[in-house]
Every structure is written in C-alpha cells, then in structure tokens.
C-alpha cells in the first residue's frame, strides 16, 4: 500500500521505492540464507551482521526519506487511511521472506493468499513445537519442511514473478536453484 502511494504522489517516488524494494530484496535473500545456516557455521556471524546492516539501511530509507516526504504531501486524513490499509494488508500478508516473488503487481498480489496460508501454517507449527514436548517435535519439523517446500514451489510459479524489476530480481532465479 505504501509504495504504490509513494509512486503516485512523490516526485521521484519510483526511484525511491525501487531503492527501498532493492533493500527489501537483499534482506529477504539474507534472511533466507540465515534460515538455512547453522548458528555455529563459520560465516554465520558475518551473515547476521550483514543482515542487520542492510535492514538498518532499509529502515532508515523508509523512516528518514519516504515517510517524511509522504507526510509533506498527504493530509492527516489521507495518512490515516493509508495507515489503516497498511495494517489490514500486514495482517493478511505472508510472514516470511519470499525472495523469488515479485515485489510489484501482478505477482505480488497473486502470491499473497497462498504464501500467507503457508507462512501462517508454519508459524503455528513453530509455536506448537515451542509449547509442546515429546514426539510431536519430529512431526512438527516434518510438517514445517513440507510447508516450506510448498512455499518454495509457489514462489517459483512464473506468474508470481511477473511485474518484477531487474534491480530486485533474486540471483537464484538466474542460477536455476
């Protein structure tokens, strides 16, 4: 909701949102790599540090550039409406990084429902794994891997990659992974 509004109303909104989308893509790629790495792997600490640095830059771009510029051009009523839409979309959006999915419509919009269902299912499984004990842990881990694989398959659907800009295209698309 935020980026389309910024592209509509801000002079130079498209380059600014593209810069932020590129940072979001980097964060998604780094978090995906972190999820796949072990905490005791030799490069884990450096990967974690890089993730936080890119995330910090991303947050600064949004809070120091994008939001103040929107505040200058939109009325308080428009800002509140944008905030309500953002909150609604946040509540029904995927909760995990999906670096292969487009950051812009139509891929972004089409991917929301299936990835949200899969992500929230994984979130629930992780929560259940934390609050229960016993033999369920193995089943939860298996189910989580199955949902992760399903999300990966959904991400790779060509229609969900439509609308992507070259600057935010993930490297694994080109590597065939």
- What is the per-residue DSSP string for 133-146? -STHHHHHHHHHHH
d(CA 171, CA 46): 20
Q: Helix, strand, coil: what percent of the chain each, to 5?
A: 75, 0, 25
Question: Using one digit for the tens of pLDDT, what is the confidence trace for 109-139?
Answer: 889 899 999 999 999 999 998 888 777 888 9
For the chain, list residues with pLDDT below 50. 172-177
pLDDT of residue 150: 96
Instruction: Give Cα separations from 14 to 9, 11, 100, 168 (angstroms).
Output: 10, 8, 21, 13
d(CA 50, CA 127): 27
Choose among 144, 104, 100: nearest CA to 122: 144
The reported pTM is 0.75
Coil/strand/helix, residue 157: coil
């Amino acid at each position: 909701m935020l980026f389309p509004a910024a592209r509509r109303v801000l002079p130079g909104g498209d380059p600014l949102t593209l810069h932020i989308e590129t940072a979001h893509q980097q964060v998604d790629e780094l978090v995906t790599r972190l999820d796949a790495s072990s905490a005791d792997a030799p490069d884990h600490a450096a990967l974690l540090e890089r993730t936080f640095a890119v995330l910090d830059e991303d947050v600064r771009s949004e809070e120091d550039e994008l939001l103040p510029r929107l505040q200058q051009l939109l009325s308080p009523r428009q800002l509140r409406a944008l905030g309500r839409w953002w909150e609604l979309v946040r509540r029904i959006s995927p909760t995990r990084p999906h670096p292969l999915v487009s950051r812009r419509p139509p891929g972004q919009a089409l991917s929301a429902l299936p990835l949200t269902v899969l992500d929230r299912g994984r979130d629930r499984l992780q929560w259940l794994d934390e609050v229960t004990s016993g033999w369920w842990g193995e089943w939860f881990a298996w189910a989580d891997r199955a949902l992760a694989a399903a999300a990966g398959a959904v991400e790779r659907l060509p229609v969900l990659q439509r609308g992507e800009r070259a600057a935010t295209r993930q490297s694994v698309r080109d590597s065939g992974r």
